[in-house]
Amino acid sequence: MTTATAPSPTSSAVPAAGLAARAAELGPVLAAHAARHDVEGSFVAEAYDALRDAGLLKAAVPVELGGDGATVRELTAIQRELGRHCGSTALASSMHQHVVAFTAWRYRRGLPGAEATLRRVAEEGILLVSTGGGDYTHPRGEAVKVDGGYRVSGHKRFASQSGHATVMSTMFVLDDPEQGQRVLNVAVPIAADGVTVADNWDTLGMRGTASNDIVIDDVFVPDERVLANRPYGVVDAPLQVISQVAFPIVCGAYLGIAEAAYEAAVAAAAPKADSPLVQRQVGRMRHRLQVAGWSLDAALAAVGDDTTPSHETYLAVMTAKAEIAEAGLEVCDLAMDVAGGPGFFKGSVIERAYRDFRAVKFHPLTPEATLVENGRHALGRPGILA
Dump strand ranges (E) for 161-310: 167-176, 180-189, 195-197, 214-222, 226-231
pTM summary value: 0.94
Mean pLDDT value across the chain:
94
CA angle (139, 144, 149) in 5-degree steps: 105
Confidence of residue 14 (pLDDT cuts 50, 70, 90): low
CB-based burial, 231-269: b 16+ in 10 Å, e otherwise: bbeebbebbbbbbbbbbbbbbbbbbbbbbbbbbbbbebb
Confidence of residue 384 (pLDDT cuts 50, 70, 90): confident
Query: pLDDT-derived band of residue 382, with 50, 70 and 90 as boundaries?
Result: confident
| pLDDT of 10 above 70 | no
Mean pLDDT, residues 32-58 taken together? 98
Q: Is the pLDDT of residue 172 over 70?
A: yes
Query: Over 50: is that where the pLDDT of 7 sits?
Result: no
Q: How far apart (Å, rounded) are the C-alpha atoms in residues 112 and 310?
A: 23
In the chain, the amino acid numbered 303 is: V
Q: Which domains does the chain have, with CATH numbers?
A: 16-126 (1.10.540.10), 132-231 (2.40.110.10), 237-379 (1.20.140.10)
CB under 8 Å to 153, separation ≥6 — which residues? 141, 142, 172, 216, 217, 218, 219
Q: Which residues are bridge partners to 182 per DSSP?
A: 174, 231
- pLDDT at residue 15 in the model: 59
Q: How confident is the model at residue 11 (pLDDT cuts 50, 70, 90)?
A: very low
> Pick from 68, 95, 100: which is nearest to 161 by CA?
95
151, pLDDT greater than 70: yes
User: What integer pLDDT is reported at residue 16 of this predicted model?
Assistant: 58
Helices (H) and strands (E) in the chain, counts: 12, 8
Strand partners, 201: none
The burial class, CB within 10 Å (0-12 / 13-18 / 19+), for 146 is: exposed
pLDDT-based confidence at residue 1 (cuts at 50, 70, 90)? very low
Q: Which of 27-36, 90-99, 224-233, 377-386 is the least confident region?
A: 377-386
- Kindly tell me if the per-residue pLDDT of 95 is higher than 70: yes
Q: Where are the alpha helices (DSSP H) in 26-86?
A: 27-40, 45-53, 72-83
